[in-house]
Amino acid sequence: MSELATESLWAKVESQKAVNPGMYGSFDFTVVPERFADQPGDVTQLGEATEKQRQAILSNRERVEVIRAYSMMGDLVADAYAALMRQYGFRALVDMLVQACDSGVESVAGAPPELAAFIADMERKPDWVDMALVEEGARIDRNSAANFGPFIIRGAFIATFMNKYSALPMAITNTLSSETAGRRVKETATFFSTSVLPGALERYGPGFKAAAMVRLMHSMVRANILRRPGDWDQRVYGFPIPQVDQMPAGLIPIFLLSYKMIAEGRTEFTREERARVELARYRCFLLGLPEELLADTPQGIVDLMSTRAATLRQDYDDNICGELLRATMAADLRASDSLAETVHAFFERAMAKLFFLRSFMGGDRAKAAAIGVDIGVGDLIVAGAAGAFVAARIGLFALASRLPGLRDIADRRLVAKIEKQLAGYGKAHFTTDATSYRSRQGAGDLAADPSPL
């Protein structure tokens, strides 16, 4: 990145103050927060990498600067729309956005220009996107979404709050009861499952609307958090829900794919791999991620994700991370009390525990128990049995997808299975209510500011 490009990027970051003074007028974009860690010896999310490996990543100062800039960047168009809450009210903004997604902005009487700009930004097709490849990627990913997704939704959600610097927004929005945590898990699962349905990411598809709702929810959280300076110290936590914190959820599958490819000495995606990458990148684009964070090569994807990890300070705060973790583990994700749902929940919870143990505890069950997650030998046996069952189903559907006589039949089965799962998750509202937010200073502080922005 040239010096001119760097200046342009930071000008875009700092423009948030002028473009949206209601949200960012008092935010100091010159402050480097504690969360951003680019000095030798800093403990970061890069995990087991050696300091030499981390310094090799940080030696690319242009890439570090991109990550630093987008760690201070929100969503210009969605934030501008969310800033209208005082004028229109929370419910009116949601209703207008839903109608605009379903029937077009022109169908919304008195639609504010901020809504038109928001939808236009999502309707814009980037030069690189190939919608035929996106559809192919969705078809490929339907197998794992239908057969593996229901067993990992809890475990994958846990990954988003094992660091206090990125988890605090969820703690403030009160995702700390098992009921609220369960709803957020289901909403996350709903978005990603919806996105792989046929035509879901087309202009009037359900994935397009879900992406718009997720963007508005994130913007509303930003707006409400920034009105609570007692709960949000920008010198410590920086920018609430910055663009770089959207990367893991949207890009982790293709990051793992790319990482494996590089280890194998491969530098080019196959046709099927490219389709999965195209799906992930376009889905992230609809969620508002800037194209500078959406690399299209294995090395580029690994480099950007690794740089984010190498500059995000790691700290586990039990009052933030621990409470979120325990609430999510305790959440009842069943759609009903039926025998089938109860059996699925039994295996799903065991797999979530195994995921957590391997991904965050280094296999140390005593360490997991110390923060409230007891994992017994029985859990490991159950998780192993469930994993074998899931792997077998995925393998059978993968085989069927390669046989001309079975390909379409198998795909219809997968679509029906995903639609049934979505019905079980219930209607996803993708909303946030400031009246339920939890003060870090104590529940009593909520009464001082009971109204949404």
Decide: helix, strand or coil at residue 313. strand
Residue 36 falls inside a structural domain: no
Residue 31 falls inside a structural domain: no
- Say what the pLDDT of residue 50 is: 87
Q: Residue 290 region, left (φ>0) first, then alpha (ψ -120 to 50), else beta?
A: beta
- Say what the pLDDT of residue 443 is: 33
Note the pLDDT tens digit of each residue in 12-31: 999 999 999 989 999 999 99
Q: What is the mean pLDDT of residues 401-415?
A: 95
Residue 148 falls inside a structural domain: yes
- Say what the pLDDT of residue 57 is: 96
Q: Report DSSP letters for 366-415, one per residue.
A: HHHHHTT----HHHHHHHHHHHHHHHHHHHHHHHHTTSHHHHHHHHHHHH
- Tell whether the model's pLDDT for residue 302 goes beyond 80: yes
Q: What is the mean pLDDT of residues 141-162?
A: 88
In whole angstroms, what is the distance from residue 139 CA to residue 173 CA? 35
Q: What is the mean pLDDT of residues 208-231?
A: 91
In whole angstroms, what is the distance from residue 135 CA to residue 445 CA? 48
State which residues form the domain around 284.
Answer: 51-109+117-424
Q: What is the mean pLDDT of residues 61-80?
A: 96
CA atoms within 13 A on the CB side of 433: 6
pLDDT band at 47 (very low <50, low <70, confident <90, very high): confident
- Say what the pLDDT of residue 1 is: 62
Residue 170 falls inside a structural domain: yes
State the chain's maximal CA–CA distance in angstroms. 64
The secondary element (H helix, E strand) that includes residue 282 is helix 271-286
pLDDT band at 452 (very low <50, low <70, confident <90, very high): very low
Number of domains the chain is built from: 1
Note the pLDDT tens digit of each residue in 419-449: 999 999 888 767 665 555 555 544 333 223 3
Instruction: List the beta bridge partners of residue 313.
Output: 44
pLDDT band at 357 (very low <50, low <70, confident <90, very high): confident
- Say what the pLDDT of residue 229 is: 76
- Say what the pLDDT of residue 440 is: 52
Residue 65, amino acid: E
In whole angstroms, what is the distance from residue 136 CA to residue 139 CA? 5
Share of the chain above pLDDT 90, in %: 69
Decide: helix, strand or coil at residue 213. helix
Handedness of CA 261, 265, 268, 272 (dihedral sign): negative
Residue 392 falls inside a structural domain: yes
In whole angstroms, what is the distance from residue 286 CA to residue 294 CA? 12
Note the pLDDT tens digit of each residue in 305-329: 999 999 999 999 988 888 888 888 8
- Say what the pLDDT of residue 81 is: 97
Residue 272 falls inside a structural domain: yes
Q: Where are the alpha helices (DSSP H) in 287-338?
A: 298-311, 323-330
In whole angstroms, what is the distance from residue 72 CA to residue 64 CA? 13
Note the pLDDT tens digit of each residue in 171-210: 887 656 677 888 888 888 999 999 999 999 999 999 999 9
Q: How far is CA 259 from CA 54, 86, 284, in A?
A: 16, 45, 19
Decide: helix, strand or coil at residue 131. helix
pLDDT band at 109 (very low <50, low <70, confident <90, very high): very high
The secondary element (H helix, E strand) that includes residue 74 is none
Decide: helix, strand or coil at residue 39. coil
pLDDT band at 345 (very low <50, low <70, confident <90, very high): very high
- Which of 45-49, 230-234, 282-286, 392-396 shows the lowest mean pLDDT across its residues? 45-49
- Say what the pLDDT of residue 157 is: 81
- Say what the pLDDT of residue 449 is: 32
Q: What is the mean pLDDT of residues 99-109?
A: 97
